[in-house]
Every structure is written in C-alpha cells, then in structure tokens.
Amino acid sequence: MSRSIIILSVLVALLSASCASLGKLSRHDFESGFYKLKVQGTAPSSVYTEVTADSIIVYPVASDGKNKFPDTSTSNSARISRIKKDNYFYKSSFTNNSIDIDLTSIIFKSRHSRDDVPNQFSADLDIAVYAGFRKDFYNIVSPVHPFQEDKSFIRQIGFDLGVFAGIGSSPVNPTVTNNLVSQEYDAMIFQKGFAGFISINKISVGLAVGFDNLFDKSRSLWIYNQKPYLGLIISVSSF
C-alpha cells in the first residue's frame, strides 16, 4: 500500500469519527471549569467557575500537591446579566488554556507566481484536521446607556496556533504543468501546514501557510507541488 493511500485512509477515519460533532460549531463557550480570574485592582487568581444559565458561582482553587479542586468553603456569585459597576465581577476576565482539535477548511488559497504563471487564487473543495494550542478570554461586558437598562454579557475572544493536515482537490492543466499535461482535470491533493486562528464568540477564522502534494502521476510536473501558499482558514466543527 502506498504512502498516499495510507495517509488518505487515516484522514478518512478521523473525519468519520468526527461526524457526531458536526452540529457542535463551537465548544469554546463559557462553561464550568478551572480558569484564571482577573478582577479590577487585583492580581489574576486560579478559580473554579460553575456556570448555570445566567449565573456564575466562583470558588478559589485548593491543591493537595498533585490535584487541584474547588474550595467550597467560600465563594462569590452573580447573575451575569445584572453585573453592574458596583459588582465584584464588573469588567472582570476569565481565561483558560487548552489543546484544540478542529475540523477546518481553507476557503481560498493564494499561490505565488511561478514560471510564467501569475499569482493564482483558488477556492477548491478541501477539508482538514487541525490541532493546536488555544487561549480563551471571557470578558464581562457591561454596557451603559443613559436612557435604557442594558444587560451585561460574556464576550469570548480566543487565539489559536497549530498545524493541520487534510485532503482536497486542485485543477491540473497545461498552464500549471508548463504544457507537459495536455488534459484538464481536477486531482486530489494532500495538504498540510501551519495555521493561526482568532475567535470572537461563534466566529473562528485564521490564516494558514500550507503545502500541497498532488496524489497522481502528474505531481512531478505540477508547479505548485510542495510549494507554499497563503490561505484563509475557518473552523467547521470541534471534536
């Protein structure tokens, strides 16, 4: 079995395993767990936050040397929508770090000019598995308007950096093979590279630097084989 077929089989298995998560477009919501809490005028502290609907209960974190756990002997609580200027959590921020594994797609690629072919922009079908390190900020925002009562809310901003690998398609024709292939057709590619994301609430987009390998016999003739490109990448679903 060739290396290309092995790679394709592994990717298909990974994508199949993710089907159950396709409806879960973002798993980076503000949920119960361990965070770093930054309150105005204080240094960041480790806390456990219990999130239920519109309410939060925040416990300090204790440790027995190996494990950390919430210290339930003391806590602070609030309704998120009612956090105002005199509240302990006013303009506070919760942060956490995590390993991120997502299903992604590069919605367009910009390929640098090569030989006599000018810069090319492509939007061919592709899918990839992304893995990286993520940092999320959950900031409490309390709007103030003089003539109406506004509800406070959580604004999520996340930053992500990692690698991706997947499959896609790309046209093969005389132009991109220095006229060494006379036919025009779409060939399967293996793509991989590096990507960085920024997420704001439910939207997650980023930039990718990638490299494509053509699967078929024309790969040695294809001018973009293993050449870098710049792409716009989006998160489709989270594992």
Considering only 2-16, 51-65, 89-103, which range has the smallest mean pLDDT?
A: 2-16
Which residues, in sequence order, are CB contacts of 71 under 8 Å at separation 6+?
59, 60, 61, 62
The pLDDT tens digits for 96-129 are 999 999 999 999 999 998 878 888 888 888 999 9
Q: 61 - beta bridge partners?
A: 70
- In degrees and rounded to multiples of 5, residue 215 shows phi and psi of -80, -30
For the chain, which residues make up each domain, given as ranges? 3-35+96-238
Among the listed residues 190, 211, 170, the one whose alpha carbon sits nearest the alpha carbon of residue 128: 190
- Rounded to 5 degrees, φ, ψ at 237 are -160, 155
Q: What pTM did the predictor assign?
A: 0.81
pLDDT digits (tens, 9 = 90+) for 168-208: 999 999 999 999 999 999 999 999 999 999 999 888 999 99
For residue 23 the two structure tokens come to 């409806």
Helix (H) or strand (E) holding 11: helix 3-17
Contact (Cβ atoms closer than 8 angstroms) between residue 161 and residue 99: no
How far is Cα 102 from Cα 128, in angstroms, rounded to an integer?
8
Do the Cβ atoms of 214 and 172 come closer than 8 Å?
A: yes
Residue 51 · residue 34 · CB < 8 Å? no
